[in-house]
């Protein structure tokens, strides 16, 4: 009987390039291949060919809370912080 290690197999992957940083959003199967999780990776080019990577593992039971908090944070920045930066300073 042949078994395949699916723990490293991406079920879905999306890459976003942003200057010196690249963000990866990967859906991976668990070792048993009966479940899945999301890995968000920030990869940043350092000097030369070196890269610094940071990973966040997000499990399905936390998707809704994470999504809600991220959406709320982005909305706050867009409506409270960016609007203030874009308004001309009155003299």
Q: 3 lies in a domain?
A: no
Percent of the chain with pLDDT over 70: 85
| C-alpha span between 85 and 73 (Å, rounded) | 17
Decide if 2 is inside a domain: no
Structural domain count of the chain = 1
Cβ-contact 25, 17 below 8 angstroms: no
Better-predicted residue by pLDDT, 86 or 84:
84
- Residue 46 lies in domain: 10-86
Both tokens of residue 49?
A: 């060919």
Confidence of residue 9 (pLDDT cuts 50, 70, 90): confident
pTM of the entire predicted model: 0.75
Determine which of 4-13, 46-55, 58-67 has the lowest per-residue pLDDT on average: 4-13
Q: What is the mean pLDDT of residues 67-88?
A: 89
H-helix segments, the chain: 63-76, 83-86
Q: Is residue 4 part of a domain?
A: no
Angle at 40 between CA 70 and CA 46, to 5 degrees: 115
pLDDT the model gives residue 59: 96
Whether residue 91 is contained in a domain is answered as no
């Amino acid at each position: 009987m042949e078994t395949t290690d699916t723990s490293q197999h991406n079920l879905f992957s999306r890459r976003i390039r942003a200057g010196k940083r690249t963000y990866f959003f990967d859906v991976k199967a668990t070792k048993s291949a009966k479940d899945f999780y999301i890995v968000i990776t920030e990869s940043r080019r350092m000097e030369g060919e070196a890269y610094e990577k940071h990973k966040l593992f997000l499990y399905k039971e936390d998707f809704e809370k994470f999504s809600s908090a991220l959406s709320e944070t982005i909305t706050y920045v867009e409506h409270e912080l960016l609007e203030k930066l874009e308004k001309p300073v009155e003299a």
